[in-house]
Amino acid sequence: MNFFSRGTTLRRPAAPAAPTTPAAAVMPDPALAALTGEWMIDPAHSRIGFSVRHAMVTTVRGSFGSYDSRLYFDGRNPARSRADIVLHTASVDTGVEQRDAHLVGRDFLDAATYPRMTFTSTAVHLAGKDVYRMAGDLTIRGITHPVELDLTYIGHVTDPFGYERVGFDGTTTINRSDWGLTYNARLAEGGAMVSERLRLQFDIAAIRSTSEH
């Protein structure tokens, strides 16, 4: 097309758009640099649990009483932080013995065949003030899928016994059927007895590993 042909009106080029100012990057609190090192979850003061809607009208909550952990927190560079957690499936506890027996059986966790659930982090970044986003691989019943946890830093103290403690709260929501947890029953009014959506909750009090002292 000839832009200089008869009848063509020349227009002044539009002024370039003003450059946008990028949002300020979230920077780690310098005070957290002192927390850099190896940590382990204190089971006596932590809870790794779950909640799921039951019968469409209520929520069942449970937790795992036995687990192993190894954590590394880098307060200067959160991307270098990592976590490895192993949950013993037979330790599930919802407060109802009959229900717990069903959960550890073949319909759900099948603890005899799969005695462990694992979470291994793959990436960490600072998502906001005191908020970290941790990506990782969650394995249940031998099936592994990626998940993301939002972890909120609660605080840091030295207890009366001289142990350094740090607190984090974390949560993520998964679809349990992705991990082969497909057992269900239908209600007469319609809908499922147990929701497909399962919320995992990490209320963590961690102690600095003794090798750090």
Q: What is the pLDDT of residues 88-105, one digit of tens each?
A: 999 999 999 999 999 999
Q: Can you give the pLDDT at residue 23?
A: 46
Q: What is the pLDDT of residues 104-156, one digit of tens each?
A: 999 999 999 999 999 999 999 999 888 999 999 999 999 999 999 999 999 99
Q: What is the pLDDT of residues 30-43, one digit of tens each?
A: 888 999 999 999 99
Q: Can you give the pLDDT at residue 27?
A: 77
Q: Can you give the pLDDT at residue 193?
A: 67
Q: What are phi and psi of 39, to 5 degrees?
A: -135, 165
Burial class (CB in 10 A: 0-12, 13-18, 19+), 87: buried
pLDDT at position 7 over 50: no
5 vs 195, residue with greater confidence:
195
Whole-prediction pTM: 0.81
What does the alpha-carbon distance between residue 7 and residue 175 come to, in Å, rounded to a whole number?
Answer: 63
pLDDT at position 21 over 50: no
Q: What is the pLDDT of residues 58-84, one digit of tens each?
A: 789 999 999 999 999 999 999 999 999
Q: What is the pLDDT of residues 143-195, one digit of tens each?
A: 999 999 999 999 999 999 999 999 999 999 999 999 998 877 554 454 556 78
Q: Using DSSP, state whether 100 is helix, strand or coil.
A: helix
Q: Can you give the pLDDT at residue 11?
A: 40
Q: Can you give the pLDDT at residue 123?
A: 97
Three-state DSSP string of 64-114: ECCEEEEEEECCCCHHHCEEEEEEEHHHEECCCHHHHHHHHCCCCCCCCCC
What confidence tier does 53 reach under pLDDT thresholds 50, 70, 90?
confident
- The contacts of residue 173 (CB under 8 Å, 6+ apart) are 197, 198, 199, 200
Q: Can you give the pLDDT at residue 111?
A: 97
Q: What letter represents residue 23's amino acid?
A: A
